[in-house]
Structure formats: C-alpha cells, structure tokens
Amino acid sequence: MGFTSRILHSDRHGGIEHGSIHKPVHTSVTYAYEDARQLAAVFQGKEFGYSYGRQVNPTVTALQDKISLMEGGSATIAFATGMAAIGSTLFSLLRGGDHLISSSYLFGNTNSLFNSFAAHGIEVSLVDATSVDAVASEIRDNTKIVFVETIANPRTQISDLIQIGDLCKEHQLVYFVDNTMTTPYLFQPKEVGASLSINSLTKYIGGHANALGGSVTELNNYEWGGFNNIYDIYKGGDSSGWAITQIKKKGLRDFGAALGPEAAHHISVGSDTLALRMDRACSNAKRLTEFLSAHPRIKRLYYPGLENHPEYELAKALFRYPGAIFSLELNNLDCFDFLNKLRLIASSSNLGDTRSLGIPVAHTIYSEMGRERRLEMGIDDSLVRFSIGIEEADDLIEDFEQALNF
C-alpha cells in the first residue's frame, strides 16, 4: 500500500469506538478497573491497559501506532515536543562516562542540549557527518550512540546516512536519526540501518503549527541484548522491546514530558495529509530555487535539489524529494529589509507549516550559540532560511521577485 493508504485508516485499528472515524480525544488522566487485580496487572506490564496519563493515553497510543506505520517501526513513544523526545531518549540510554558522537550540523536547541549533556559527564564529539570518516575517527571504547539529522537546518548539509549506518553496525553503535526535515514520507531511516528515529511532530507531520509534539520510534535494526545500559527490570521478553520500554519508563514517565490528548488529535488529523502537503511544498521549493539560482541578487543558495549542492547525488538516491527548506545569502541587500519586503511569506521561526516562512537565523534561532560556533556550521550572519509551504508556486515566485527587484 502507498504511504497515505497505509496510515489513513489506522485510527480504527484495535477497535472502533462508537464507529468513530477519528480516534476520540480521551481527556481522562486516570483509568479505573472493576477488579483491583487487573489494575495491578496493568501496572506491572502483564496486561495492556491504561492507568495514568503521563505514561499512556488512548488518543496518544493511536498516534504512536500511526507513526510506527509511517516509519516502518515496531513501537513509538510520543512526547510533548521534539526536544523532549531527543532529551528523554538520550537521557534514558546514556550514563555518565559514555560517549556520544553527533553531527556538528544540528538544530540549535539540540546543540544546546548536547552542551548540557557534556556538563553532566557525557562525552560529546561534534563531527562533520557529511563524511563517514569524520565519524569513524571519533569512535572510542566508551562510544555508545551516533546522532545525525538527515538534512541539517539551515544550511542543508546531508549526513553520510548509508555509510554511517554501516559503520554503526560494524561497531555495534546505536544509530539515532532525527528525521524531522525529511519525514518518513521522504525518507525511511530504517533502510539505512538506523536503530531509532525521532521526529518533531510539531513540524511537517502535524503540519499546521497548531500543536507541539515529538516521537521516537524503534526500527529493529539494533540488537539491544548487547547494549549494557539496559536496566535488568526492562529486560523482559524479546530484546527488541527493551530500549523502547526503558525510554518509556526512564524517559517519558520519570521526566514527564507527556504529549497531551488534544495535541495528539491535532497532530493525527494533520498527518493524514502529510504526503499531499510534502508533494506540494517540495515542488514549490524546487520551482523557487530554480528561479532564485538565476537571480543576480542571490549570492549563495543552499538546497539539496540543486546540482551544485555537495550532497545532490546522495539526496537524489535517498530521498523522495530534496525537501522544502532552503537558505540563501543576498548581494547588496540587507536580510531584514528583504524579509520585510516579502508580502506573502511571513517572518517566523517555525518550519514545516502549510504557510511559507522565512527567518534571519544568525540573529534569532542561532544567536545564543555565538558567531564562532555558527561559522563551524556554515552559518553566515546574513543567512536567511525559508520553509516553503503549500501556496501556489507562481504566487511565491512573484513575491520573491518583487522583494528582490525593488
């Protein structure tokens, strides 16, 4: 089945409540049982059921199952935000003295989070993950996890996804892929050997900037039996479920960043049209970058769908489309003045919305890290990032044209 057919009816898996087409929004925080022994069995994981909303909720469970279907995974845990998914997962799998290798090209808050990990006794190496050799040269005896993004925001560097997968397999490292920028519609991390994938559901999957959420999905490529940070208590049954159980208990339950049922509902409804929105947004981004690459006011243009992009071939081989994000630097035009000239495109920090958005990244989302770290990530002070939405392409081109040619 195609991507949309596969997910569209998933709300009705596991029983249709009142014939409801959408999974209902269950707002109850707690669940009661006629037989107190059954409550105990649910608590001890001997029986599936709901007990307390911080760990599990029927509306959230339906969304988790839908994301597992999208990613081709066996289980998903949802969180209140994408950052909660990354932070809680890594916290629950790493211990003091462990070593994490991460791509240097990171979402700003993930970069900030990794600085905190370093302050708490987890060694972190940031490497140029467009080259597998850079990752390989950092492997140590205590290395546990390799973390990469697919297409890095804002400069669109693409990690050496296939080769890093092979490397992780060879060294039995957990391969953790942030699939937010590509989504499971453009790219399946499972196919390159990823152990776990994370998605910020706030972005393309929810797609309408009306709910925050995040998720982590077990992709069944890693043998958790050989991972020595799993607590004995979570080693029940087949080892493929150990890590996700520990993430649920140590990450979600103990940190408590649970996704609310209303947000889960918004995200689930939004996700029904993920494929349609991505088709349109990616095609818009392609048309726009073709127009912009010929424009004299554009100094540099970064988009993996352009032949001069260093990872053009890799993007073509791996991704259904090269995404809907690009960034640019301008000739003789101030980035703020340019953004102010745009009429249709809003100045805003989000990405993956139905609406096209632009942002001067060095002055906003990447300001806290300082200029030196920005330059390591290839972020010039004048860089503007665009997240292209689903407006008609001609209108977007006209808007850029008038803003560039005043």
Ligand X SMILES: *Cc1c(COP(=O)(O)O)cnc(C)c1O
Distance between CA atoms of 263 and 288, rounded to whole angstroms? 32
**397 close to 288: Cβ distance less than 8 angstroms:** yes
Q: Which is nearer to ligand X, 181 or 342 (CB)?
A: 181
DSSP state of 25: -
Of residues 10, 88, 125, 200, which one binds ligand X by CB under 6 A? 200
What amino acid is encoded at 7 in this protein?
A: I
Number of residues that bind ligand X (CB under 6 A): 15
Stretch of 27-35, 157-165, 173-181, 359-367 lying at the interface with ligand X (CB under 6 A): 173-181
x/- track of binding to ligand X for residues 129-168 (CB under 6 A) = --------------------x---x---------------
- Separate counts of helices (H) and strands (E) for the chain: 16, 12
Of residues 78, 181, 247, 328, which one binds ligand X by CB under 6 A? 181
Of residues 81, 89, 103, 111, which one binds ligand X by CB under 6 A? 81
Spatial neighbors of 282 by CB under 8 A, at least 6 apart, are: 186, 320, 321, 322, 323, 324
Interaction of residue 177 with ligand X, rule CB under 6 A: no
Q: Note if the bond before 154 is cis, omega within 30 degrees.
A: yes
Helix H, strand E, coil C: the string for 184-222 is HHHCCHHHHCCCEEEEECCCCCCCCCCCCCEEEEECCCC
Closest CB 248 distance from ligand X, rounded Å: 19
DSSP state of 195: S
Cross-strand partners of 200: 214
Spatial neighbors of 361 by CB under 8 A, at least 6 apart, are: 154, 327, 379, 383, 384, 385
Parallel, antiparallel or unpaired: strands 325-330 and 298-302? antiparallel
Stretch of 36-44, 77-85, 90-98, 254-262 lying at the interface with ligand X (CB under 6 A): 77-85
Interaction of residue 82 with ligand X, rule CB under 6 A: yes
Stretch of 178-186, 253-261, 280-288, 338-346 lying at the interface with ligand X (CB under 6 A): 178-186
Interaction of residue 178 with ligand X, rule CB under 6 A: yes
Chain residues 83-122 in contact with ligand X, contact rule CB under 6 A: 83, 107, 110
Place of tokens 């999208």: 70
Distance between CA atoms of 400 and 301, rounded to whole angstroms? 14
Interaction of residue 353 with ligand X, rule CB under 6 A: no
Distance between CA atoms of 180 and 204, rounded to whole angstroms? 7
Q: Which is nearer to ligand X, 81 or 245 (CB)?
A: 81
Helix H or strand E segment including 126: strand 123-127
Stretch of 41-49, 87-95, 200-208, 249-257 lying at the interface with ligand X (CB under 6 A): 200-208
Of residues 99, 155, 190, 203, which one binds ligand X by CB under 6 A? 203
x/- track of binding to ligand X for residues 229-268 (CB under 6 A) = ----------------------------------------
Helix H or strand E segment including 352: none
Q: Which is nearer to ligand X, 81 or 289 (CB)?
A: 81
Q: Under the rule (CB under 6 A), what is the footprint of ligand X?
A: 81-83, 107, 110, 149, 153, 178, 180-181, 200, 202-203, 212, 214
